């Protein structure tokens, strides 16, 4: 046929696309691509299962976004919980410090109940200020491994019992009991009666200040 057409001068026909490849050659390129993919990947049923519809894509994106929101919510909740716990712990510690820290007038009352003469009160308040900053829970470890306790920093070697370095227990009190402000002041009264103000470095190092100290209570 081709030979005959050549001899007659007629043009040969274009190659004919067979089967479904000839369907809508100029109208639907996407359809051709889909058919090609189907031939490469499997039957129509298999391809239909793997081919995602636009609604499926939207649904998956929404699910992915929702999972991310849940993850961030969980992370933020965990951070908030930890922050709350830390804040509570800090608040408790701060409260304990505030409770153990006394005012000048509190110390004046302890001194009066312990029996200190009125003309010694101001100086003893000054000593407490420089020894412990009015903190009944204050402690200090000395180079000889003894410990100073409480409001007036009573030394464990001479004045209390129960500490590894305790020896004399002159106040007849356990060292742990000296965290009680009044008991500590009672022991300080005995220290003062035996050794005077010079028993405390807070006085020796600030003698001029403590000799002229005045409370407003």
Buried b / exposed e over 45-70, threshold 16 CB at 10 Å, is: eebeeeeeeeeeeeeeeeeeeeeeee
Catalytic pick among 30, 55, 131, 169: 131
Alpha-carbon dihedral sign for residues 197, 199, 202, 208: positive
Q: How many CA atoms lie within 13 A of 101 on its CB side?
A: 8
DSSP secondary structure code for residue 147 in this structure: E
Active site includes 144?
no
CA distance 1 to 48: 43
Query: Is the Cβ–Cβ distance between 32 and 20 less than 8 Å?
Result: no
Catalytic pick among 30, 34, 148, 211: 148
Query: Could you tell me which residues come within 8 angstroms of residue 104 by beta carbon, excluding any fewer than 6 positions away?
Result: 125, 129, 134, 215, 216, 217
Active site includes 131?
yes
Closest by CA position to 20, among listed 38, 3, 7, 8: 38
CA distance 4 to 52: 51
Q: Which residues are catalytically annotated? A: 131, 148
């Amino acid at each position: 046929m081709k030979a005959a057409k050549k001899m007659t001068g007629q043009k040969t026909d274009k190659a004919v696309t067979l089967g479904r490849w000839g369907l809508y050659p100029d109208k639907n390129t996407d359809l051709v691509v889909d058919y090609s993919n189907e031939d490469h990947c499997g039957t129509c049923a298999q391809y239909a299962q793997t081919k995602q519809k636009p609604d499926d894509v939207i649904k998956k994106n929404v699910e992915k976004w929702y999972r991310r929101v849940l993850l961030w919510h969980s992370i933020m909740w965990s951070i908030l919980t930890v922050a709350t716990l830390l804040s509570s712990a800090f608040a408790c510690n701060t409260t304990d410090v505030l409770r153990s820290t006394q005012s000048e007038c509190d110390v004046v009352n302890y001194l009066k109940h312990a029996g200190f003469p009125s003309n010694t009160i101001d100086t003893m308040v000054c000593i407490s200020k420089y020894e412990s900053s009015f903190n009944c829970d204050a402690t200090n470890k000395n180079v000889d491994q003894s410990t100073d306790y409480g409001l007036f920093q009573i030394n464990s070697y001479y004045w209390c019992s129960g500490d590894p370095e305790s020896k004399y227990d002159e106040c007849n009190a356990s060292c742990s009991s000296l965290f009680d402000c009044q008991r500590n002041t009672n022991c300080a009264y005995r220290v003062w009666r035996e050794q005077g103000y010079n028993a405390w470095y807070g006085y020796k190092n600030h003698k001029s200040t403590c000799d002229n100290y005045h409370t407003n209570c």
